[in-house]
Amino acid sequence: MLSTHEVERLARACETAAESATAFSRGIDDFNATAEGLPAVARPIVKRDFEANTGMNADEWKVFLGKLNARYVAIQEAATRLAQALAQGANETDINAATTALKEVATPLIGGTIAAIKAMATIEAYLEGLPAKINMIPESFMETGVRDELVDSVPAYIERAEALKTLLEETDVQLHAIIE
């Protein structure tokens, strides 16, 4: 028996996850802007290093995060409709239809959650090692002020990656509990 509270909790988690995906996508924008602002000699190095160590280039990350955001929004809407049906005491047919709709829209996320969690763990690990790499760039190619600013900004991106990874794990558990 589905509980309204359980489905509402899923809807809220999906809303947060959608926002988290968007926030991380903005982080990719920041990365792009930073890379474009670097001297010409350092630009391809930074872009290549990012792609080699995160599995995707910045544009691919943007596509993935955009799709993840859209998927979470769709699940949140379906979960909200199901929660409303449950709260209003709708008949079994309507509840089953709302549940089926939720399952359909959640299936691609369930199938890709493990890969998404792994991707977030990969980029998080990359971000954790980034300050050491930044500090190895010769002074000739990066001013001290730029270097310090970059290093200081890294922990915030690690937090965003960790938050999205945690939300992927949480929503996966919640979806399995509701759908199965």
Partner 1 sequence: MVIFMVDSNATISEVLANLQSIFSGVESLGKAVEFGDKVAIPIYQFNFGTGGGGGGGDREGQASNAVGFGLGGSIGPTAVVILSKDAPGAEGIYIHEFKTNKLGEAFAELMLRFWEFIETQVGGQKKLSAEQKEKLMNI
Residues binding partner 1 (CB under 8 A) = 39-45, 48-49, 52-56, 60, 63-64, 67-68, 71, 108-109, 111-112, 114-116, 118-119, 122, 125-126, 129, 132-133, 136, 138-141, 143
CA–CA distance, 95 with 66 (Å, rounded to integer): 30
Q: Are 14 and 171 in contact (CB under 8 A)?
A: yes
What is the smallest separation between the CB atom of 87 and partner 1, expressed in angstroms? Answer: 29
Choose between 49 and 94: whose C-beta lies nearer to partner 1.
49
Instruction: State the minimum distance, in angstroms, from the CB of residue 113 to partner 1.
Output: 8
Spatial neighbors of 84 by CB under 8 A, at least 6 apart, are none
Compare residues 52 and 156 and give the one whose CB is closer to partner 1.
52
* CB nearer partner 1, residue 17 or residue 98: 17
Could you give the dihedral angle defined by the CA atoms of residues 60, 61, 64 and 66, in that order, rounded to the nearest 10 degrees?
-110
CA 139 to chain centre: 34
Task: Please say which residue, 95 or 134, places its beta carbon nearer to partner 1.
Answer: 134
CB 165 within 8 A of CB 127: no
